Structure 1
């Protein structure tokens, strides 16, 4: 799941999040950890312009600082940046931050990356918004090198050129998974050819089969092999009967009914689902997380 509180866009934030803080984040992350969730995720924006602030809000916690803080409060759940706008920063800087996070967390990082969409954010830090796709493509290559096993990584490209510069600590993982976010044709292609996974941005169920088929075809045409994790973001969920208006798109009901609906994602070829829950308070959210882990998730596991 992507964590609440740390980003508060009006598209998904619940009213109670406005007054929440670090303690709430810790309790929610611990609930997800105890419930067996695969990962907790944090977003990335540096600064929001006034023209977008009413819709996006200006509450966007730094992903590295937040995930590092939560790493100390959790034991097993992985830590995902969903997504880091890595074109805003030099890849050596990004590598230093995320390698340290992976080292300190015992190898729990998943680096989710995306192109970004806020022009002013790029302008403020001197980054190239118009060519951000090409910048991201090379940044992923540079990060592969900088997050690899070599203490002195090397990358020689059009935009970035480095070698003979040591960085320690190294990541705890031999290979940090890089998942690419976005649902545009360019993002899907980037995920297929450069990523270890795909993080769609709001694709409804009926769009996913075509997107997944395109990823498979692109990888096959390019001769790209190896493990690949295709994701999906589910509809909002509520385990049980809410007794309050949760919105027309929310899936509610008994655990078995929710599981039956969610199993359709696996049938499409989805490997992991990112869930979110409707809630009126932190305690209601942690209760939902616990109920999902205990009562819904067991029905989603494919028998070995």
Structure 2
């Protein structure tokens, strides 16, 4: 029997600072810390580094969400030049905020410059004011995302002059170069709603659930696989999961009740449960008091925990 390898990636610190997950030290950090984390991920076997996406945050949400949201194309391009093998994931790009031609231009260039390391993670978005400010359809953002994915499939394929006709977007006879380095840029669909699971099943190369507890994942994965089979999609799909906060070793400070901490073999045993339920890649997050502690945790995970994941 072939044992699946459970790959692991990380959402970058600093680039988004929602109070739900940002550590206090990130408020005073910037480009140097981002580079340090990305280079550590590159060397420690991480499959990807990820960057979020918001154009503008309304005042009513600025408290919990903050207004710190780096642009994913700019940020991932910056980090591509400082890394060699780690993949570059938008987690997730709210692609409905921009015309597909504009989105494709940025991400195709990123894939070209990085030598084919882009994974395009997409999501529907949730901030009404953001959509309204750029003239996008918030109430119809689900169908908008569906059509945008279809348009991006055409734009990020091998054709220099792709044709596409939809209800919202139509284009033809318009060339874009450089082309992506990959023949097919993987599209991972984010979200845990029934609509998002169906979208991932029908249109995605991967699924990025948003914080589902592990007790709920098996049923959703079964639904994903059933919907994909019913749609006649035969290509494999990469199933993801965001795992509990981690701390490798015994912390000398309070890392939080929900944090998984302890010896590497115990952490690996706990995380292998995700593989058994059908997960292919996990997104990990480490509790830390500074960038040095974070990169130490990443190196420890790569060297001592990851070898036992599959």
Q: Same fold by TM-score, threshold 0.5 exceeded?
A: yes
What is the correspondence of 1:221-300 to structure 2 with a 5 Å cutoff? 221-300=230-309
Deviation at 1:74, TM superposition (A): 0.6
Gaps of at least 5 residues in structure 1 are none
What is the correspondence of 1:177-256 to structure 2 with a 5 Å cutoff? 177-256=186-265
Root-mean-square deviation over aligned CA pairs:
0.4
Does 2:92 align with 1:73?
no
* Cα distance between partner residues in 2 of 1:141 and 1:222: 15
Deviation at 1:140, TM superposition (A): 0.2
Cα deviations by residue, 1:199-254 (Å, 9 ceiling, x for unpaired): 00010000100110000100111111112100000000000001110010000000
Instruction: Using CA pairs under 8 Å that are at least 6 residues apart, name the structure with larger relative contact order, 1 or 2.
Output: 2
Deviation at 1:72, TM superposition (A): 0.4
Cα deviations by residue, 1:136-172 (Å, 9 ceiling, x for unpaired): 0000000000000000011111110001000000000
Match of residue 120 from structure 1: 129
* Cα distance between partner residues in 1 of 2:143 and 2:232: 21
TM-score by length of 2: 0.97
* Cα distance between partner residues in 2 of 1:256 and 1:171: 40
DSSP-derived class of the 1:170 partner: coil
Match of residue 7 from structure 2: none
Match of residue 6 from structure 1: 15
* Cα distance between partner residues in 2 of 1:114 and 1:8: 18
Cα deviations by residue, 1:150-196 (Å, 9 ceiling, x for unpaired): 00011111110001000000000000000000000000000000000
Q: 1:47 aligned to 49, 56, 62, which one? A: 56
Does 2:111 align with 1:105?
no
